[in-house]
């Protein structure tokens, strides 16, 4: 029997934490575990979570994954953490969390973001200085909001961390950050890979924030080893190496083998993302394109839509449908949903850039107002947002022969065909749909073993041949017509 090399990959998302146990020798995932999180929501766009939930879910998901894998936690050689991007975790000097974490989907800080953007010289000034146009949801406006809304608490800040940085801190006691996740903070220069300290001083002249940002490390550098008490709580080897980790999109890139030009990753999760590896930081003049750093040594131009399976989920709840029932109705309706269009901006929207938009239905008549058409319009409307973003990425010179589809929506054969037809590109799913957790485990192996990332991805990332979906010519043109209708409606907003 060949020697197993076991790594734990963790993905702390909005809805829950996923854990996987990877054998980097065979490239096989041996066990999966999951645990749910809850959201704190306010009518003013507040979206927060208690980081304690993440720690509890981390432990629970890990125990479940180890149990399913049937392995001894003492054999785990390394741990990698993927985290939801842009969230703000504030710690005091004792390492205690000061308040719930504001998340990527929080829009309460939109006024603060507008003021900071104005200070930077608008979107073009922000792109020139940082390489990204800061948007509501990025971390930077959350800092200004905290200073203004909670001055007493602000005065106690000792560490400013992103969600995955906080989990690494909990595991090792060390506060540090890596370039990929840091580039979504809004106070980081993506071209030169360093914190924008002057921007932090603008928010807080005392220098407190500047002193509170963590040191930056390379993607292949470990953070350290586990604290003994945490190793005991998780039931894993205290000598396990914790890798730099990264944002969920950066880890999703590694987990789909998207570490060289040519592959496009598209995630159909609660939000939608499209991204691809780039060797240079070719910053797009389009503010919607975020030229983040990758967690594999390059860059990761990316677009993110705020509305995807969260929208189809709301429609399913409205009609009390399970997933198969929903998919059946989507299939029953024709392309273009008999003229029904949904602008699915229930959360506001980032791509197209409409932070204050709300959702709307268009083209309703006495005859086309059916459950099937509404289900179809929800899937088409959210997918058109991804097409809008993919077009922006392609304008930056992005090449891609194939789209690797991940996230909950990718499990639907109906949706895969819709994506292939709307994007006019072949679509294939990876065998492991928990791409971010897989990427985190692969990165842990890269940090711990010294084996090349390319060789690890070749071994550990495989596509599911049964999921391969090709665009159908007459459908492509029918969707093009429906997409132009969507663009026209977006333009009126």
Residues recognised as catalytic: 248
> Angle of helix 371-395 relative to helix 309-318, nearest 10 degrees?
180
The 10 Å Cβ neighbour count of residue 291 is 23
Element (H or E) spanning 462, and its range? none
Question: Mind giving me the DSSP string for 178-199?
Answer: EHHHHTTSSSEETTTTEE-HHH
The 10 Å Cβ neighbour count of residue 202 is 15
> In the beta sheet, which residues pair with residue 88?
102
3-state secondary structure of 324: helix
Question: What residues contact residue 256 under an 8 Å CB cut-off, 6+ apart?
Answer: 263, 265, 404, 406, 430, 435, 439, 461
Element (H or E) spanning 486, and its range? helix 473-492
Distance of alpha carbon 4 from alpha carbon 195, whole angstroms: 39
Q: Is the Cα dihedral 255, 257, 259, 261 positive or negative?
A: negative
- Find, among 43, 40, 61, 42, the residue nearest to 51 by Cα: 40
Q: With beta carbons less than 8 A apart as the criterion, state whether 61 and 34 touch.
A: yes
- Find, among 156, 159, 155, the residue nearest to 176 by Cα: 159
DSSP letter (8 states) at residue 137: T
Buried b (16+ CB within 10 A) or exposed e, 331-363: eebebbbbbbbbbbbbbbbbbbeebebebebbb
CA distances from 72 to 31, 62, 77, 292 (A): 12, 12, 11, 37
CA distances from 290 to 281, 285, 479 (A): 10, 10, 27
Q: Which residue has the tokens 């409205």?
A: 318
E strands, 310-410, are 341-343, 360-362, 400-406
Query: To the nearest 5 percent, what fractions of the chain are helix, strand and coil?
Result: 40, 25, 35
The 10 Å Cβ neighbour count of residue 205 is 10
Distance of alpha carbon 330 from alpha carbon 340, whole angstroms: 13
């Amino acid at each position: 029997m060949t020697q197993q090399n076991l790594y734990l990959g963790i993905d702390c998302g909005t809805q829950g934490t996923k854990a996987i146990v990877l054998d980097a020798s065979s490239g096989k995932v041996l066990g999966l575990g999951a645990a749910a999180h809850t959201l704190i929501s306010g009518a003013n766009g507040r979206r927060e979570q208690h980081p304690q939930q993440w720690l509890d879910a981390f432990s629970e998901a890990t125990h479940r994954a180890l149990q399913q894998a049937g392995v001894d936690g003492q054999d785990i050689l390394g741990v990698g953490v993927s985290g939801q991007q842009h969230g703000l975790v504030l710690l005091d000097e004792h390492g205690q969390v000061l308040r719930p974490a504001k998340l990527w989907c929080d829009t309460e800080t939109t006024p603060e973001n507008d003021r900071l953007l104005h200070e930077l010289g608008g979107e073009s000034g922000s792109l020139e200085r940082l390489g990204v146009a800061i948007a509501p949801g990025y971390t930077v406006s959350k800092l200004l909001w905290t200073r203004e809304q909670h001055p007493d608490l602000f005065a106690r800040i000792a560490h400013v961390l992103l969600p995955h940085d906080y989990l690494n801190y909990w595991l090792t006691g060390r506060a540090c950050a890596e370039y990929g996740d840091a580039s979504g903070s809004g106070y980081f220069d993506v071209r030169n890979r360093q914190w924008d300290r002057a921007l932090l001083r603008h928010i807080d002249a005392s220098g407190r924030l500047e002193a509170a940002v963590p040191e930056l490390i390379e993607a292949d550098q470990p953070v350290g080893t586990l604290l003994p008490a945490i190793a005991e709580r998780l039931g894993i080897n205290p000598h396990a190496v914790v890798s730099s980790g990264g944002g969920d999109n950066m880890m999703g890139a590694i987990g789909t083998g998207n570490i060289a030009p040519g592959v496009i990753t598209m995630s159909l999760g609660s939000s939608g993302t499209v991204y691809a590896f780039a060797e240079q930081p070719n910053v797009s003049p389009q503010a919607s394109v975020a030229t983040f750093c990758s967690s594999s040594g390059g860059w990761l131009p990316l677009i993110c839509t705020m509305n995807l399976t969260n929208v189809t989920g709301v429609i399913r709840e409205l009609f009390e449908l399970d997933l198969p029932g929903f998919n059946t109705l989507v299939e029953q309706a024709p392309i273009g949903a008999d003229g029904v269009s949904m602008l699915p901006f229930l959360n506001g929207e980032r791509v197209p850039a409409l932070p204050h938009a709300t959702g709307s239905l268009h083209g309703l008549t006495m005859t086309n107002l059916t459950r099937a058409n509404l289900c179809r319009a929800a899937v088409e409307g959210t997918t058109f947002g991804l097409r809008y973003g993919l077009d922006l990425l392609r304008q930056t010179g992005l090449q891609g022969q194939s789209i690797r589809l991940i996230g909950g929506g990718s499990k639907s054969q109906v949706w895969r065909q819709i994506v292939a037809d709307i994007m006019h590109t072949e679509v294939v799913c990876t065998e492991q749909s928990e791409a971010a957790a897989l990427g985190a485990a692969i990165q842990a192996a890269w940090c711990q073993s010294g084996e090349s990332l390319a060789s690890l991805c070749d071994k550990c990332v495989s596509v599911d041949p049964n999921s391969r979906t090709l665009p159908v010519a007459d459908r492509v043109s029918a969707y093009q017509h429906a997409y132009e209708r969507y663009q026209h409606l977006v333009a009126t907003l």
